[in-house]
Amino acid sequence: MKNGLVIDVSGLTKKFGGRTVVNNFDLAVPRGAIYGFLGPNGSGKTTTIRMVCGLLKPDDGAGKVLGFDVRTEASAIKERVGYMTQRFSLYEDLSIRENLEFIARLYSLDHLRDRVEASLKSLGLTDRAKQLAGKLSGGWKQRLALAACMIHEPELLLLDEPTAGVDPKARRDFWDAIRDYSAEGVTTLVSTHYMDEAVQCDRIAFIAYGEKLIDAPTADIPDLVGLSAWRIEAGDLDAATKRLKTAGGYDVLARFGAAIHLAGRDGAALKRALDTLEGLDRLSATPIAAGLEEAFIYLMAGAADNFAADNFAAGDLKTGNFTPGDPANAAQARGVT
């Protein structure tokens, strides 16, 4: 493998019926990394993952996954990749054990029973082995799905929104498991639109409208987005919120417990909005370093739903013309000026 890259693809493009879902996508993922795909619904995350694991044939682009050609050696890739689908896609009319045995047989694994037992044990599913998969709750289904895609000890894990609809405790357990795998050298590519999942990743690619807009180590994201941020406390936070909304000029307004975090790319406009708060009881406004949270809220708010706005030009965010939450932008997205 060149440069120790597990995924090394460039120019991946996929069209469905004339609509470009993924456009000219480059991706380089080093061994052992936990790499996050962040982006709104319909931004092309699932399509990209499917192209990486050989489930979709790219219309254009080339590259290697685990050293195998992504276009011509899909079978070899499939044998070494574990793919956890967004929707539960194991058999609901088979028991947990039967599902695992089925998958293990498809990978022609030796010591089948031992492996299945070990897998059941490591995920705490032993007691439920005979239960039908369809009768499991969301968290257990997701554990089963992870067990199934790990049973052949893949070198690369592809997880498509793995914890959607799962309670926080189960989500934390899930991520602990992913961290353990990562420590063993397994590379993980995970798509999500949850902030608390994104912060678990070493590196993040932000995708919107089929294009990769940001690709950076997680810690660098706030600087890249370039937000100024303030922490505001006041006796009456509702009144403060109302005044700020009237004033505008910010990109992110979010309640964090007993404080408001206000952030925006235009520092001067932000200051003007803060000025309108003068006279509020027990007011304190302190500049803070914009964190990941603010950056993600900013990014996700910018492209709430990519299915709704086909005509949006993805270059806007790169050039800085893109202002999330601005009505003018919404009009622009619909091709109206």
Partner 1 sequence: MISLSRVLAVFMKELVQMRRDRPTFAIMILVPIMQLTLFGFAIDTDPRNLPTAVELRDDGPLTRSLLASMRQSGYFKIVAQVSTDEEGESLLRSGAVSFLIVIPENFEKEFVRGERPQLLIAADASDPVAAAGPVAAVNEIARRAFAPELERLPKTLRGGAPPFEAVIHRQYNPAGETSMNIVPGLLGIILTMTLIMVTSIALTREVERGTIEALLSTPVRAGEIMIGKTTPYILIGVVQTAIVLVAARLVFSVPFMGDPAPFLLALLLFIFTNLMLGYLISTLARTQMQAMQMTFFIFLPSILLSGFMFPFAAMPKWAQAIGEALPITHFLRVVREVMLKGAGFAEIRDDVWPIGIILTVLAFAALARFRRTLD
Q: Which residues bind to partner 1, rule: CB under 8 A?
A: 50, 53-57, 74-75, 78-79, 81, 83, 85, 87-94, 98, 101-103, 105-108, 148-149
The least distance separating partner 1 from the CB of residue 216, rounded to whole angstroms, comes to: 29
Tell me the closest approach of the beta carbon of residue 243 to partner 1, in angstroms.
Answer: 48
Question: Three-class SS of residue 333?
Answer: helix
Choice between 148 and 201, CB closer to partner 1: 148
* Cα–Cα nearest to 302, from 285, 321, 284: 321
Report in angstroms how near the CB of residue 39 gets to partner 1 at its nearest.
20
Handedness of CA 296, 299, 300, 306 (dihedral sign): negative
DSSP state of 326: -
For partner 1, the closer CB: 58 or 222: 58
Give yes or no for a contact between 141 and 134, defined as CB atoms under 8 angstroms apart. Answer: no
- Which residues, including other chains, have CB under 8 Å from residue 201's CB and lie 6 or more apart? 34, 35, 36, 190, 218
| Helix segments in the chain, DSSP class H | 45-52, 74-80, 96-106, 112-122, 138-150, 168-183, 195-198, 221-225, 237-247, 267-275, 292-302, 315-319, 327-333
Closest CA to 47 of 160, 142, 150, 202: 160
Based on CB atoms, which residue is closest to partner 1, 91 or 194?
91
Considering the complex, what minimum distance in angstroms separates the CB of residue 74 from partner 1? 7
Cβ closer to partner 1: 3 or 75? 75
Name the minimum Å distance from CB 225 to partner 1: 34
| Residue 152 Cβ vs partner 1, minimum distance, rounded to whole Å | 9
Q: How far is the CB of 88 from partner 1 (least distance, A)?
A: 7
- When the beta carbons of 5 and 157 are compared against partner 1, the nearer one is 157
The CA distances from residue 174 to 8, 143, 146, in Å, are 27, 7, 9
102 vs 256, beta carbon nearer partner 1: 102
8 Å CB contact between 9 and 52: yes
Q: β-pairing, 68-69 with 156-160?
A: unpaired
Q: How far is the CB of 65 from partner 1 (least distance, A)?
A: 13
Give the neighbor-by-neighbor strand order of the sheet with 34-38. Answer: 81-84, 156-160, 187-192, 34-38, 203-208, 211-217
Q: What is the DSSP secondary-structure string of 163-174? A: TTT--HHHHHHH
Tally of CA atoms within 13 A in the half-sphere of 170 that contains its CB? 17
DSSP one-letter code for 305? B
Q: Which is nearer to partner 1, 75 or 337 (CB)?
A: 75
Taking the least distance from each CB to partner 1, the nearer of 34 and 148 is 148
